[in-house]
Amino acid sequence: MKTHKENYPLISFIVGFLVWLVATLLFRIAGQHFFIVDNPFIMIALYIILIPALGFISTAVFTKCKLDNLESIKSAAIMVLPGMLLDTVCIQFFEKLFPNMPEIYSKTFASWLMFAYAIVLIFGLLRKKQETKN
């Protein structure tokens, strides 16, 4: 049986897909209640919340799989791929996929998504060198 370290590409992909799926469903069901583009305080809070939330998720994957620095970068890239690919469709068909939010929100939504993907990549790039335990 393969270890977490050997399976990290698959684990990273699955985690990335699940984060995308949960976030997309959350926006589809209740986005109008918390993604309020007209309120700068809420929007700033949503951007700021991404940093610890996605940092925790990505770091948990890196740690659980015992990844070194280069593997963490690869894992981060793999984690963001499913969402980046699927969100191209979500943005293109925003008004159909998110009928609870005005179409004008699509630009801010796309910006927020790009920021989210950048956060995961930054956590992969800035991962501190892990000490090896014998």
pLDDT of residue 133: 55
**In the 8-state DSSP scheme, what is residue 101?**
S
Q: How far apart are the first and last CA of the chain?
A: 22
Q: Which two tokens stand for residue 85?
A: 């690919």
Residue that has been written with the tokens 């090896």 in this structure: 132
Note the pLDDT tens digit of each residue in 99-133: 999 999 999 999 999 999 999 999 999 987 765 55
Q: Which of 52, 89, 90, 59 is nearest to 76 (CA)?
A: 59
Can you give the pLDDT at residue 134?
A: 43
What is the pLDDT averaged over residues 35-47?
A: 96
Q: At what angle do helices 40-64 and 106-125 cross, to 10 degrees?
A: 30
As a three-state string, the secondary structure of 44-68 is: HHHHHHHHHHHHHHHHHHHHHCCCC
Q: What is the mean pLDDT of residues 73-90?
A: 98
The answer to whether the CB of 54 falls within 8 A of the CB of 67 is no
pLDDT in tens, 6-24: 899 999 999 999 999 999 9
CA distances from residue 40 to 17, 87, 106 in whole angstroms, order as listed? 29, 24, 16
Q: Report CA torsion sign: 76, 78, 84, 86.
A: negative
